[in-house]
Structure 1
Amino acid sequence: MQLWLIPTFYAAASIVAGVLVPRLEARFLSSGLDLSTSSAQAYLSAVASGMMALTGIVFSIAFVLVQFNAVVYSPRLVVWFARDRLLFHSLGMFVATFMYSLATLAWVDRQGTQGVPLFSALIVAAMLMASVLMLAQLVQRLNNLQITRVLQSLGDTGREVVASTYQKDRWSTAGSAVSMRQHSEDLALTVRHVGNPQSVTSVEIARLIDDARRMDSLVVMECAVGDTLLEGTVILRARGVAGAGFENRLRASIHLGDQRTFEQDPKYAMRLLVDIAIKALSPAINDPTTAVQAIDQIEDLLRRLAKCDLEACRAFDRDGIPRVIYRMPTWEDYLALAFDEIRQFGSTSIQVMRRLRSALVELSACVDSERARTVHAYLGHLDSGIERSGFDPEDRAAARIEDRQGLGLSHRQDENDPARLGGPSERVAL
């Protein structure tokens, strides 16, 4: 549903109610509100004028705050904040209250009857109360723009996407690049993108399986969720009848949008967390503590991803025949996305180095042996970067002490276990 339809629906409903309700009330209800005409007009006029003024002030402040915080955190967060449904419901309620108040005001003392519509006046009061409650919720939502709550919200969204993306499906199992090449030898149909650049927002794997099974075909995805498709970019290849109907059905299973979304894309939540971290590490802001808080959420996402089958890239029909081969990020892809840029931009911060080292050391303890080797190799890369940095010997020793708070509580090791700290001679008191 397009978000602009939400306030449009509120406005249309208020117009319809403003036309029908007072007329029905005038015809079927003989009693009116026990209130003088001047008082009722003052009450309805105050509600209408005040609601429009409130709408302008609240949404001006809201958009300024959203823009300011998005610039501080990441420009990609503008859309995330601006698409909050509460914002559009609040706008709709404010506009509806204004318009219905005007409609009710037109029926006060209509044709000299000296009457005040009872039911319509009560509806205005109820809408006013609803507007106040929505205003309170909106203020609370703006309060959620604090950095800690933004990071927590991004982490929660990422955890939901990881759980939904890597849930156990009856049609998925592990695959390999070799099997993909074997299956792609006799692919005849090539589907390319036509039009302006767009991002892949989601892929309906189940629908692709049904279409491929109906045509006794195999579909190999050449793009992944989150990729930007340009004119002529290959979307997928398929074996089977190269008919326009089959191609159109395959295209309908690939959903495109102007920008990436969280749907089916665990990388996007991690991407935004990394954006916030490296923005905080820029010389203009110089806030390594925010980067450390972002690493907290990133490490949690990696721990959850470590429990998933990241090699699942083939989908089977109910007969066990492979029908779709699709692309998924590997463990190395997630590790590079999570830490490469933070390591590069945070190379001058002892606090960030210590937190990164803590994340890698603890991550290596909760993954299998193959993934642990990748983490240990990355840890060695981090240590070599520390050795090449401009730190003096004492700072290098401090940077190689893992600390979950960055600069808070050193996790000191036994004297006989110098591997993690670089030897007893490099241990420092902080």
Structure 2
Amino acid sequence: MPVWLIPIAYTVVSIVCGLVLPRLEHSYAASFDLGVSSSAVLAALSAISSGMMALTGIVFSIAFVMLQFSAITYSPRFASRFARDPVLFHALGIFFATFTYALATTMWVDRSGEARVPTLSAIGAMVMLFASLLAFGLLMRRLGDLQIANTLRFIGDQGREVIRQTIIAGGVRAAVVPDTTTADPVVQKLRHQGPPRYVQAYDIPALVALARRAGGVIDMEVAVGDMVLDGSVVLRVLGGTGGLPDSELLRAVRLGNDRTFEQDPKYPLRLLVDIAIKALSPAINDPTTAVQALDQIEDLLRRLARRPLDIGRVADQEGVLRLTFPSPNWGDYLSLAFDEIRVFGATSVQVLRRLRSALLGLEELLDGDVRADEVRRYLTHVDSVIDRSTFDDQDRHAARQEDPQGLGLTR
């Protein structure tokens, strides 16, 4: 359900309860009385309904501050985390519900001049007020997530989960087959029609089933995270009979307005690099944040380094190739994780020391593996950047000392 429907659902339910429950109480529980005067109950309900409006305004202000803070300090792509936070919308829903319910209950206080008080309904309004205060407290607790350590840990956790699901688990139950070229002719093409959209995920079992039904291979032209434009080729069907319905093929490729973590290990790395290079900008000049981002980046790369990355060729249960899609290799991950940080952090001794520490750690982890050669070449590149820098000899010597803390202690 879209998150913007949450407060609307709360409001509709509260209006129905505010109109029905006092009527039932008036008919079947009118004798229940706690001895509170109608004027006191009316004042309390009026204070609740009017106070909720002010509290709702505060909540909106907090929401805008959270969005602006996360967009400016971290990354505009990370701001969607707070824009779609269910806690924010549930809090707004509870505030709206408390306001509308208290307002509806006031209509039954001293109804027809009988000085009657809907006691149970008034107690319900107080309970909702207490729930609103709890929701406000939870919303304030959410502000703690804006701390840089919590933000980086959240992105890192998302990256570790998507690596576990996509890389470690293979993303599907079908077997992954070796890279073999196919000369099958193109029998069908699927083009995107409409506004630009990002590829958010493949429904791999559905694509494999469709390819098997056609007796061919589905070759995805776009990778997860790519943007497709009007007229762009999304996929090709190679060999077989073709003739697959476009609607079924489209349902198997989920498109959206922005990138997501699902099936995209590159996206958490992209966010971490965004935070690091923004921290290294002259306007912020916070290399320590870049070092903290590198902590999470190194952990993600260590998990990727020990896993098979050539997962873009999927077979059916009989071992017949049915689906191919673009997937990044080890060099792609290294470039994404380190290139921009290396460029923008070339004037920071702290960042260069942490970068060398990450590369040396990966090289040691991959000892004897062919991927270690790429890490070694990248480390040579970093050392050449240090040699060409404007540092004096003493700073160059310091920058070549790897340090997991950046500037903590010389190893």
Both proteins in one fold, TM over 0.5: yes
SS in 2 for 1:312: coil
Aligned pairs for 1:264-343 (under 5 A) are 264-343=263-342
The alpha carbon displacement at 1:242 in A equals 4.1
Amino acid at match of 2:131: A
Contact 2:215 2:241 in 1 (8 A): no
Higher mean alpha-carbon deviation, 347-356 vs 231-240, is at: 231-240
**3-state SS of paired residue (1:225):** coil
**2:142 corresponds to which residue?**
141
With over 3 angstroms needed to count, the CA separation of the structure-2 counterparts of 1:252 and 1:220, relative to structure 1, is: same
Cα–Cα, structure 1 residues 174 and 399, in superposed 2: closer, same or farther, change >3 Å? farther
Whether the 8 Å CA contact 1:315–1:323 is kept in 2: the answer is yes
Provide the C-alpha distance between the structure 1 equivalents of 2:190 and 2:208, rounded to a whole number of angstroms.
16
Q: 1-side partners of 2:364 and 2:118: how far apart?
A: 71
* Residue matched to 1:52: 53
| Residue matched to 1:90 | 91
**Mean Cα displacement is larger for which, 288-297 or 149-158?**
149-158
User: Unaligned stretches of 5+ in structure 2?
Assistant: none
Between the aligned partners of 1:241 and 1:112, the Cα distance in structure 2 is 80
Q: Counterpart of 1:420?
A: none
SS at match of 1:191: strand
1:195 aligns with 2:194: yes
Structure 2 residue 184 is the aligned partner of structure 1 residue 160: no
How many angstroms apart in 2 are the aligned matches of 1:250 and 1:19?
48
Give RMSD over aligned pairs: 1.3
Distance 2:57 2:383 in 1: 54
User: Structure 2 counterpart of 1:171, which letter?
Assistant: A
Which residue of structure 2 lines up, in the alignment, with residue 423 of structure 1?
none
For the structure 1 residues 28 and 117, does the alpha-carbon distance in structure 2 shift closer, same or farther, using more than 3 Å as the test? same
Amino acid at match of 2:377: A
CA contact (8 A) 1:32 1:116 kept: no
Q: For 1:72-111, what aligned pairs fall within 5 Å after superposition?
A: 72-111=73-112
TM-score, normalization: structure 2? 0.96
TM-superposed CA distance for 1:343, in Å, is 0.2
Number of the residue aligned with 1:26: 26
Whole-Å separation in 1 of the counterparts to 2:173 and 2:54: 55
Matched-pair identity in %: 53
Change (3 A) 1:25 1:386: same
In the alignment, the residues of structure 2 paired with residue 305 and residue 234 of structure 1 have an alpha-carbon distance, to the nearest angstrom, of 29
Alpha-carbon deviation of 1:331? 1.0
Compute the displacement of 1:151 (Å).
Answer: 0.8
Q: Name the CA distance, whole Å, in 2 between partners of 1:353 and 1:365.
A: 18
User: Which secondary structure does the structure 1 equivalent of 2:319 belong to?
Assistant: coil
Q: Once the 2 structures are TM-superposed, how far is the Cα of residue 271 of structure 1 from its aligned partner? A: 0.4
Aligned to 1:221: 220
Deviations 1:66-90 (Å, cap 9, x if unpaired)? 2023212111122122111101111
Aligned length: 406
Cα 1:353–1:17 shift into 2, 3 Å: same
Residues 2-21 of structure 1 mapped to structure 2, 5 A cutoff:
2-21=2-21
Question: Contact 2:177/2:314 (CA < 8 Å) preserved in 1?
Answer: no
Conserved 8 A contact 2:177-2:319: no
Question: Cα distance 1:216–1:242, how it changes in 2: closer, same or farther (>3 A)?
Answer: closer
Query: Is this contact kept in 1: 2:177–2:321, CA < 8 A?
Result: no
**1:417 is matched with which residue?**
none
Secondary structure in 2 matching 1:201? strand
Q: What displacement does 1:152 show?
A: 1.0
Could you report, residue by residue, the CA deviation over 1:137-187 in whole angstroms, capped at 9, with x for unpaired residues?
A: 1001012101111111111111111111121443142543xx2xx325422
Kept after mapping to 1: 8 A contact 2:30/2:118 = no
In structure 2, C-alpha distance between the alignment counterparts of 1:62 and 1:292, rounded to whole Å: 29
Q: Residue 80 of structure 1 aligns to which amino acid in structure 2?
A: R
Report the equivalent of 1:171: 174
CA distance in 1, matches of 2:213, 2:328: 29
Partners of 2:277 and 2:340 within 8 A in 1: yes
Say if 1:337 and 1:99 are closer, same or farther in 2 by CA, change over 3 A. same
Letter in 2 for 1:215: A
Partner SS state of residue 97, structure 2: helix
- Take 1:402 and 1:271, find their aligned partners in 2: how far apart are those partners? 24
Mapped partners of 1:104, 1:15: distance in 2 = 10
How far apart, CA to CA, are the structure 2 residues paired with 1:275 and 1:53? 36
Q: Does the 8 Å CA contact 1:165/1:264 hold for their aligned counterparts?
A: yes
**TM-score of the pair, normalised by structure 1:** 0.92
Distance 1:78 1:360 in 2: 30
Quote the Cα distance in structure 2 between the aligned partners of 1:61 and 1:290. Answer: 24
Structure 1: unaligned runs, 5 residues or longer: 412-430
CA contact (8 A) 1:184 1:220 kept: no
The one-letter code of the counterpart of 1:70 is A
Question: Could you give the per-residue CA deviations for residues 22-41 of structure 1, whole angstroms, max 9, x where no partner exists?
Answer: 11111121323421111101
Distance 1:175 1:232, change over 3 A: farther
Cα deviation 1:73-117 (Å, max 9, x = unaligned): 111122122111101111101101100000111111111221111
Conserved in 1, the CA contact under 8 Å of 2:219 and 2:323? yes
Query: 2:214·2:242 contact (CA, 8 Å) conserved in 1?
Result: no
Decide whether the 8 Å contact of 2:225 with 2:259 is kept in 1.
yes
Tell me if the contact between 2:175 and 2:316 (Cα under 8 Å) persists in the aligned partners.
no
Partner amino acid for 2:176? T
Q: Give the Cα separation in 1 of the matches to 2:393 and 2:130.
A: 64
